[in-house]
Structure 1
Amino acid sequence: MKKHTVLSAGLALLVGLGGAAALAAPAQAATGFTFDHRIAGADRFATAVESSKLLEPTDGAATDVVIVNGYATVDGLTASYLAGLKSAPILYTDTAAVPAVTAGEIARLGAKNVWIIGGTDRVSTTQEDAWKAAGKDVTRIAGADRYETAALVAEAGGTAEDGDNPNGNAPEQVFLASGTSTADALAAGPIAWARNYPILLTEAGTLPAVTKTALEELGSSNRVVLGSSASVSDAVYSQAGGTQRLGGTSRQDTATKIADYATASQNFDTQSVALVGGSDTTAADALSAAPVAGSQGVPLVFIDFDGSLGATTTSYLSAHKTSYTGRGTGWIFGGTPSVPQAAADAATTAVQ
């Protein structure tokens, strides 16, 4: 599978299901911009498959696939970085067995390499053994806890210390996010996928030793902290050598800060935006969305916890409405239980 790249600033990205490249946005918002490009299946497993099909529509063309437990996505918070390194989709499995919809997509992709994120209590050895028996090269990345797992994933591309980094030096940037307030890491997933920025995790008031070591070994001096000081304290920010904080008063607000960062400095598309569920349960769709959103350069914003669009995201969309054009796309990741149609309709109203 070829790595999809984000275009340089000043040009629009490919949008929709492969659509045409767009030129600079007009001065006024296009009344035709609607949130009607919904990527969804019957559940989170099927939604992940639909995202995978968009990332790689050609049967048998994939080399790699990343597997995460669909009900314990915390181990996979940093999977977007690894998936980006491999130009791979992220698919969900259950603890004991692979859901039929996921197994079908792995077969369709024709992936030779399976990357499991998380221990055997998340993805059983039975599944691992079955993939190996089918002739696949299986690699499991798992630590003693989420912090060590994140560190191991972050070092999968090599470090400045061991000289194995694909670029021959430190990654250009590292994200640091809360290991318990998980939405912040999810909001940055598309950037991590597209730009190959590792994501490390921390406790709110204490920087885990394994995370500190990983920061040192990765060698990047550009360390962007995600979330407010309630999620990652000022003391941890200082101890980690933070260089910038992208944090708001809520997960919705933080996501808008990350979205602005994506379009302002990471060459993401200013003409398109994606909605994802805002609760701990519905935000799972954001992880499997990261490869598609990253490949298309589309920032993610969260709806509110109660399923409404919410004041924060409404204000964000309204403030940016002159950027959204008929050439852009209003994406939705997840079915109506995750992003109700009323929220999508409110988003469309907000940009008119």
Structure 2
Amino acid sequence: MTALHGVRIGPVGLRFRLRPLVVPLVALALTVFAVALSIRLGDFPMSVGDVLRVLAGAGDATEQYIVFDLRLPRTLTGLLIGAAFGVAGAITQAISRNPLASPDILGVTPGASAGAVGVIVLASGFGGVASVAGAIGLPVAALIGGLVSAALVYVLAWRRGVDGYRLVLVGIGVQAFMLNLTYWLLTIGDVSQAGQALVWITGSLDARSWADLVPVAVALAVFLPLALVGAHVLGALQFDDDTVRNLGARVELSRFALILIAVMLAAIATAAAGPVFFVALATPQIAQRLAGTARPPLVASAVIGALLVSVSDLVARTAFPIELPVGVVTAVLGAPYLMFLIIRKRREVRA
């Protein structure tokens, strides 16, 4: 038996308390291992010693190019966008109190996709629109698209406050609109533009560079601490609005600020690699079940999201005769999980 603050806790209770700490540490160790494998493996395989030698500044020009220009920025970008999607999904699911809520379902990533595809299609034609689209650039357009989509969902879901169930329903409608807008944009572009856009909207880490890595790193450095500061509010938002107000929290302001953090993380991650679907949906639920917490834990969601994308990209790059976009692998993993959540939610409603 162990005493904590005057309360005696048995072995089972102690293990339950340690799970939220152990889970992210184990996931972090697995992520480091996946990153090491990702840097090693490829068309030009390298040993661990070779990789360490190149990272230390040695190695020939070819090895340095492969590690520093090809594999390392791609691997780190995947790691960071996985963390960003994981945190964004944890926030949206905690706020809506619904395991089906995520930036994918709420229309944020489809909105970002519509903005980015609009730039790809319009930047090379359509007169004056081309110059505007070209000046905006793909990452900024994706960010704007995600913000516009999120604002639309929030406004349409508002009715003397935002209810989590209504938020999901409106988000599904906005998601459908943004997806159809994306498909329409594809039809008005030429074949080369449509091919480029299709690869991007599938979610791909191919040819990621340090320039793609920096915005996601900055977004995580800014918004992850803010999300952790607001974690106590997320705990309060698990109750109904009247209870939250009695606890002293400003419900709508807190909800708006946290949703904004989730939208920014999801939109910037989408701008870096496209909409890598199902990461934001599945990761928080996996983290919650492994950690045994009442709501999706932010840190564990971030680390497991990084692990999921890193492993998915490694599989997409090395397990098949041709390289696949990472979004294909995450979709194959996430679609059955989505069906499981829907069936489970339906059974809970019936019960």
Structure label with greater radius of gyration: 2
The answer to which structure, 1 or 2, has the higher relative contact order (CA under 8 A, 6+ apart) is 2
Superposition TM-score, scaled by structure 1 size: 0.24
More strand by share: 1
Superposition TM-score, scaled by structure 2 size: 0.24
